[in-house]
Amino acid sequence: MRGFRSVALVLMAAVLVLVGCGGKPASKPETLSDTKAPAANTPTAAAPAPKKETLNVKMAFGGSRGSIVYLPPVFAESSGFYAEEAIKMTMSDMQGGPQAIQALVSGEVDFASAAVEHAAKAKAQGVDLVMVALYARYPGLTLVVDSKLKDRVKSISDLKGLKIGVSSPGSSTHKALISMMNKFGLKNTDYEAVGVGIDGMPAALESGKIQAAVGVDPYVTKVVTSGKAFVLWDLRTKKDTEALYGGEYPLVGLVTRRELVEKNPEMVQRVVNAIVKSNKFISSGAAESVTAKVPAELKGADEALYLSSLRSNVEVISPDGLVSDKGLQTVIDSLKADKVIPDNVTITPADIFNGTFARNVK
């Protein structure tokens, strides 16, 4: 027995010597506990991003989608920005902003492409709507007059007694007309505002149904280029906008119910992502690239005319979907000055615009 122990001790010593010299003992099956974790800097395959659930979203437009001021949400569709956000967008045209807002308030649609003025007017009536992304930082509206009246009409005050087209009563085009007329001392009874729709303005002018109109592009460029009308006041420019309103005057954008913002912020963020990406691309000045992606039925047969219209409106489109509190206050003050909102109703910029989602877009 004593001999056996001696032999065992000799064998163990030999094994220790071999290990110390770099030799290996007999291999054994590797277990999970024997496996070393990879080093911290060892490259590993990136986990695939979780697939976004497709959202079905509905949007109403306060006028024709062919209007340049409504281009951001239209371009978001044709450029694939909605697809990137896994959004299936259904868009429908209304005669004007009031009709689009009614569809929003009733729950028929999730968003309205309409003027921020409507959010302010709704707030004054106890309805909580909010704009979450701006399309047009200037009104983008133009007062045009039938060319046959060029010798007679030299200023806005000369429009007294005429029929003047707007998209619909209570729309942003109608509000702009009221502001222009008030500035030149004309009352609502001094002229007749006629609802002709956004895209119906050229035909209404040509037929004599109206003698002037507050319109948007590409329809304004169409009647001016053809010689059927001339520009009297141009709210596509900073100069005329500030001359009328005394400062920045944001117009249309993405409006929704505050309830939707609170209950489904993911939907709002994904839609705003697509809109602001669209804004950035359009405002970059790549007019040819933008025009090429606009659906043919919206830009019409004359692509050169559409391109010209777009170039006339590049400075109108917001580059980031945001607007200053000063600009929003100008809207509120103008609505009060024109008696659209009662003097005893208090509305703040925060009541009608939420820039959180637009600021989140990288």
Q: Please give the domain boundaries of the chain with CATH numbers for all domains.
A: 55-139+249-360 (3.40.190.10), 142-245 (3.40.190.10)
Please tell me which residue, 21 or 189, carries the higher pLDDT value.
189
| pLDDT score at 1 | 43
| pLDDT score at 72 | 97
Exposed e or buried b for every residue in 339-361, given b needs 16+ CB within 10 A? ebbeeeeebebebbbbbebbeeb
Confidence of residue 315 (pLDDT cuts 50, 70, 90): confident
**φ, ψ for residue 90, nearest 5 deg:** -110, 120
Helix (H) or strand (E) holding 130: strand 129-134
| pLDDT score at 301 | 83
Q: Given its phi and psi angles, is residue 318 left (phi above 0), alpha (psi -120 to 50 degrees) or beta? A: beta
What are the tens digits of pLDDT across the range 262-310? 999 999 999 999 999 999 999 987 899 999 999 999 888 889 999 999 9
| pLDDT score at 117 | 94
| pLDDT score at 49 | 60
3-class secondary-structure state, position 34: helix
| pLDDT score at 46 | 56
Please state, in angstroms and as integers, the Cα–Cα distance from residue 193 to each residue in 169, 185, 211, 309, following that order. Answer: 7, 16, 11, 25
Distance CA 191, CA 188 (A): 6
Distance CA 197, CA 96 (A): 7
Please tell me which residue, 14 or 83, carries the higher pLDDT value.
83
| pLDDT score at 45 | 52
C-alpha of 194 from chain center: 28
Beta bridge partners of 234: 142
Confidence of residue 312 (pLDDT cuts 50, 70, 90): confident
What are the tens digits of pLDDT across the range 71-117? 999 999 999 999 999 999 999 999 899 999 999 999 999 999 999 99
What are the tens digits of pLDDT across the range 195-241? 999 899 999 999 999 999 999 999 999 999 999 999 999 999 889 99
Report pTM.
0.79
Using the predicted structure, report yes or no on whether residue 52 has a pLDDT greater than 90: no
- Residues 234 and 240 sit within 8 Å (Cβ to Cβ): yes
Mean pLDDT, the chain, rounded, equals 87
Strand locations in 192-281 (E) = 192-195, 212-215, 229-234, 252-257
- Residues 275 and 89 sit within 8 Å (Cβ to Cβ): no
